[in-house]
Structure 1
Amino acid sequence: MRFTDILTTASAVANFLGEPEVTAGHLLQAIEIVEGKRSVEDLGRPLSPLVRRPGGGVQAEVRALVQRWYAAIGGDVMAEIDDAQVAALRAELEALVSEE
């Protein structure tokens, strides 16, 4: 799967849920969606587009993790990560979630 697909899906998940920041949990949910293990609809009811939302952002820890991974894959927005890399990314994200 492409790394950017995970990132854009995580942003969509946060937006769908009306969350002001993309979190490690959103990235974990995004991986499952990109893998086809769940759908956005499985996340529950979306926040209505008529409800004012705060400006978007990314948690600092998540931003640092994404920047490190982006550098590790050579800064290529089209780069695909293999199953071992997905497992490693998932483990790092789960560690961040457990710290919250």
Structure 2
Amino acid sequence: METIKSKRDFEEVFSGGKRVSHRLVRATVLKCNEGDLGKVAFVAPKRLGNAVYRNRCKRVLREAARACSLPAQGTRIILFATKATHESSPDEVSEALRSLLKRCGING
């Protein structure tokens, strides 16, 4: 799974991406050239809680992304954890993620 690491890539997704929300996860999606490899980033803001709490949220997001076969080719996606992410199973989050991707026109 290729991840977004550079500040420039994050800013590119934030400035040109589409934002979609669900109770369990928020996402910003940017469609790129079809030939580009897809990239994904997992974000859990500090306001959610301590490091253990945030790491659990990111683990759930990573597992849900794997279940949805992310990253899709030609897309860059940033996934944000919410308070509800922590108490949810990866299966629940993957269903929420599939509905968000469908709204963006991405098959997940």
TM-score normalised over the length of structure 1: 0.31
More strand per residue: 1 or 2? 2
More helix per residue: 1 or 2? 1
TM-score normalised over the length of structure 2: 0.29
Q: Which has the higher contact order (CA 8 A, sep 6+)?
A: 1
- Bigger Cα Rg: 1
